Amino acid sequence: MCRKLIPFVLAVVLCGCQPQTQNIDTINDPGKAVMQLDYRDFDRAASEMVQSLIASGSLKKQGGGRYVVATGRIVNDTMQRVDTDQLMAKIEQELMNSNLVVMTSAVGGNTASRDSMIYDVRDVRDSDKADEFNKDTLQAKGQLIAPELSISGKIIQRNVIYDNNLQQVEYYFQLQLTDLTTGLRYWQNENIIGKRGSKKVVPW
Amino acid sequence: MKFILYSLLVVLVISPVGCNPPPEKGVIMQEGIRSDDLGNNIVTRPIVHAFSALVGEGIEIRQALTHVNKNGFLELEVSGYNRSFDTRRFEYKVEWLDGSGMLITSHTSKWMQTSAAGKSPFTIKAVAPRTEAVDFRMNTRKIPG
């Protein structure tokens, strides 16, 4: 009888040892640091970038008004499959909320920041299907506003052997703001996030 | 005999102590770099450190300055001093409040990491993400993990 119960008891005990799935408290996360880039790293990098950009005064338009800004190419030069929108979505949102700029969805280095519907409706306008629409509601030609500034950048990863047991992983977040008319760079910032941990952990 | 031994000890403690000139204003010379003195030398250092740890010396905030920059954004500069002998790493979060005291939600209000070297001043700077910000509140915590 007892022998029959042993597998059942073992199963119950082992199941009880499994950690429970929990939602992360993203506001006051008490979690330990990880070797890979996690959402906290993107939050910190975005926060520092936005504050630096606002403080620089580069987005203050001479004569008032708001700059039209496009997101340029953000290169992921890390060993991880990073979607650069994890960084840029926060930055774009904050810049728009600051009332200093308007972002454009017409052009951009990343397909996610472009809205293909802008060109779909124009294709409709120029096709036979246009007859199905009220012509006054179709977008006229020459209405799109070209961007004046572009934000581009790069995320770089460097792995360094620290000692026999530890490795050091350095992440560099680099962004720059360029005037598209003159090609001049108005602002640039680099934010470094460094992590040191066991060599056994694979940082990708 | 004991008196001679104690006297020798006192001489040993005091002998490396020179007349240290006061450091240049704004320059901090850490232990091991600057010359030893009466209160901090090879004999007294462990005792002083142990006492500091025992009484729990840590971070103290001395001043929080705000000013509106030329673009209309509120800037915050918090100055403090690390009373501990060890480097203290900690996290801080700055939240911004509008004229009616309402919280301005922003991606910039996140737990940020900073560090203060032992027995040294430090400064934390932050910029409000909106021109509506007129006040702030700041929280601190130990780095998790």
Query: Tens digits of per-residue pLDDT, A159-184?
Result: 999 998 999 999 999 999 999 999 99
Min Cα separation B13/chain A (Å): 38
Of B127, B88, B143, B95, nearest in space to A48 by CA = B127
Q: Cα(A169)–Cα(A162) distance, rounded to whole angstroms?
A: 9
- Exposed, middle or buried: residue A52 (CB in 10 Å: 0-12, 13-18, 19+)? middle
Task: Indicate if the alpha-carbon torsion angle B50, B52, B56, B57 is positive or negative.
Answer: negative
Q: Cα(A41)–Cα(A33) distance, rounded to whole angstroms?
A: 9
Query: Contact A55/B131, CB-based, under 8 Å?
Result: no
Q: What are phi and psi of B54, to 5 degrees?
A: -65, -45
pLDDT at B38: 79
Q: Considering only the beta carbons, identify the residue of B75, B126, B144 that sits closest to A32.
A: B144
- Percentage above 70 pLDDT, chain A: 91
Q: Considering only the beta carbons, identify the residue of A50, A55, A98 that sits closest to B69.
A: A55
* B31 Cβ contact list (under 8 Å, min separation 6): B40, B45, B85
Min Cα separation B112/chain A (Å): 6
* Segment B58-76, tens digit of pLDDT: 999 999 999 999 999 999 9
Query: Contact A57/B145, CB-based, under 8 Å?
Result: no
pLDDT at A1: 58
> Does position B4 have pLDDT exceeding 80, yes or no?
no
* A168 Cβ contact list (under 8 Å, min separation 6): A159, A160, A161, A162, A194, A195, A196
pLDDT at B30: 84
Query: Contact B130/A98, CB-based, under 8 Å?
Result: yes
Q: Cα(A156)–Cα(A80) distance, rounded to whole angstroms?
A: 10
Cβ atoms within 10 Å, residue B73: 23
Mean pLDDT of B19-27: 73
* A184 Cβ contact list (under 8 Å, min separation 6): A178
Q: Considering only the beta carbons, identify the residue of B69, B75, B107 that sits closest to A90.
A: B107
Write down how long chain A is.
204
> Does position B16 have pLDDT exceeding 60, yes or no?
no
ipTM of the complex model: 0.83
Beta carbons of A81 and A40 less than 8 angstroms apart:
no
pLDDT at A56: 95
Round the CA-based radius of gyration of chain A to a whole number and report it.
Answer: 25
Amino acid letter, A122:
R
Write down how long chain B is.
145
β-pairing verdict for A149-161 and A67-77:
parallel
Mean pLDDT in consecutive groups of 10 residues from the start of chain A, 204 residues: 66 69 92 93 96 95 93 91 89 94 89 86 95 94 96 95 93 97 97 93 76
pLDDT-based confidence at B13, cuts 50/70/90?
Answer: low
